[in-house]
């Protein structure tokens, strides 16, 4: 395993590579690609933290635990609350900030604050030619014409190897309350979540767990008087959907949303796990077509976690739909056969292929990870 400790060493290793490289962060997301292992665990440490400017700059291999601890000392946080995949995937290791950015990992608060990429201020990375690139500033090479931040966030290491990231952070909320309604079907649950999200009361979480008393959960955060008032108004707004209750203890509420963020309901349950992004209004119909053994709805119904029998081709079962389905937990064979990521329409795939050729002309980074399996592989 190659483990560079500086960006220069990383660039040298990329230049010297004679074949594919499998880029590794903390090893927590179950990514399996062929090639020589290139670990970023040696690129770690917080390079700059300015609480007053709400900015943190860290090497890509810095653990999330270290990032969170430093921010907590100043009562700040990463507002997009990235998921910890270890429980769902049964992996070990430590999640890293580079891995979070590479996968654009974003949690329940995305509906209100935005995704990881929306908080990403800048990146440094090494492309497939071994050139160090930064989004602005004094660098070895500047690239104009591309929004490098948006390109790298969610590229899963297929365009370049991240060496450093710069992120905007936000203060922690003083308190939070979760408003709950039990016993709803999917149609009514989506209606209740949509009503809450469409209100002026600044909802920061809207989820539905069919397997746990069919409970809708709505989160409000902020200063205590404001949270109490907004939770009360949301409760009044949702009375038509059923009996409303509240969890006023902030720690209990935080535990609920950590469980939603990390999909705790599927941790010990058998089967493959898929992650679907859909229009919330389509969620009831799509969830019926899934024929899933387990479901969890987040983002007001815009994100569906589905647990199905091992080896199921869920995309074939769904047919055409407005959204995309990602295979998150499955055997290596199933991921190779079905492809982890939703196949793109031909025009988009052509653009993606062009970008990969531009930034990774030798095709050595996480080879084939985001490409559609060849026809006949099913």
Task: Compute, in degrees rounded to 10, the torsion defined by CA atoms 304, 25, 73, 77.
Answer: -30
pLDDT, position 372: 65
Q: What is the mean pLDDT of residues 124-135?
A: 93
Position 22 confidence tier, pLDDT thresholds 50, 70, 90: very high
Residue 289 has φ and ψ, to the nearest 5°, of -70, -20
Residue closest to 157 by CA, chosen among 356, 361, 375, 358: 356
One-character DSSP codes across 111-179:
HHH--HHHHEEEEEEE-TTS-EEESSSS-SB---SS-HHHHHTTSTTSS-EEEEEEEE-EEPPSEEEEE
What does the domain layout of the chain look like in residue ranges?
7-171, 175-261, 264-338
Higher local confidence (pLDDT), 103 or 142: 103
CA distance 281 to 53: 39
Scored b (16 or more CB within 10 A) or e, 39-50 reads bbbebbeeeebe
pLDDT exceeds 60 at position 376: no
pLDDT confidence of residue 130 = 96
Q: Provide the pLDDT confidence category of residue 139 given band limits of 50, 70 and 90.
A: very low
Query: In this structure, which topology does domain 175-261 adopt according to CATH?
Result: Alpha-Beta Plaits (3.30.70)
The reported pLDDT for the residue numbered 373 is 64
For residue 138, pLDDT over 50 is answered with no
pTM for the model stands at 0.92
Tell me the pLDDT band of 148, cut-offs 50, 70 and 90: confident
Q: Look at residue 26 in the predicted model and tell me its pLDDT.
A: 85
Fold of the domain built from segment(s) 7-171: 3.30.465
* Model pLDDT for residues 208-255, shown as the tens digit of each residue: 999 878 999 999 999 999 999 999 999 999 999 999 999 989 899 999
| Angle at which helices 186-197 and 283-290 cross, to 10° | 150
Residues 125-139, mean pLDDT to the nearest whole number: 77
Q: What is the pLDDT of residues 298-350, one digit of tens each?
A: 999 999 999 999 999 999 999 999 999 999 999 999 998 999 999 988 898 89
What is the predicted pLDDT for the residue at 137? Answer: 35
Task: Supply the pLDDT for residue 369.
Answer: 85
pLDDT of residue 142: 43
Between CA 59 and CA 101 the distance in angstroms is 12
């Amino acid at each position: 395993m190659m483990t560079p400790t500086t960006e220069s060493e990383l660039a040298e290793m990329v230049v010297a590579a004679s074949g594919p490289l499998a880029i590794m962060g903390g090893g927590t997301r179950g990514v399996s690609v062929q090639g020589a292992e290139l670990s970023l665990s040696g690129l770690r440490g917080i390079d700059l933290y300015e609480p007053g400017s709400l900015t943190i700059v860290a090497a890509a291999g810095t653990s999330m635990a270290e990032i969170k601890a430093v921010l907590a000392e100043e009562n700040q946080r990463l507002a997009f609350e990235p998921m910890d995949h270890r429980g769902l995937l049964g992996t070990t290791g430590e999640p890293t900030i580079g891995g979070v950015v590479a996968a654009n990992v974003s949690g329940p608060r995305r509906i209100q604050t935005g995704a990881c990429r929306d908080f990403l201020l800048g990146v440094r990375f090494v492309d497939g030619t071994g050139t160090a690139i930064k989004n602005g500033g004094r660098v070895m090479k500047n690239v104009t014409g591309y929004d490098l931040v948006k390109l790298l966030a969610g590229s899963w290491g297929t365009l370049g190897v991240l060496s450093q990231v710069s992120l905007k952070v936000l203060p922690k909320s003083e308190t939070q309350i979760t408003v709950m309604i039990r016993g709803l079907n999917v149609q009514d649950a989506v209606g209740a979540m949509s009503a809450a999200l469409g209100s002026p009361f600044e909802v920061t979480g809207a989820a539905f767990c069919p397997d746990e008393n069919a409970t809708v959960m709505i989160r409000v955060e902020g200063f205590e008087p404001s949270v109490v008032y907004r939770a009360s108004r949301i409760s009044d707004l949702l009375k038509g959907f059923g009996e409303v209750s509240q969890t006023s203890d902030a720690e209990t509420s935080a535990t609920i949303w950590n469980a939603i963020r990390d999909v705790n309901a599927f941790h010990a349950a058998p089967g493959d796990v898929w992650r679907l992004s859909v229009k919330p209004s389509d969620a009831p119909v799509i969830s019926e077509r899934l024929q899933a053994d387990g479901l969890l709805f987040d983002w007001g119904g815009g994100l569906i976690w589905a647990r199905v029998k091992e080896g199921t081709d869920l995309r074939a079962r769904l047919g055409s739909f407005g959204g995309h389905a990602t295979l998150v937990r499955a055997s290596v064979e199933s991921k190779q056969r079905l492809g982890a990521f939703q196949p793109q329409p031909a025009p988009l795939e052509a653009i993606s292929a062009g970008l990969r050729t531009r930034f990774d002309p030798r095709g050595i980074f996480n080879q084939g990870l985001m490409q559609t399996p060849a026809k006949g592989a099913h």
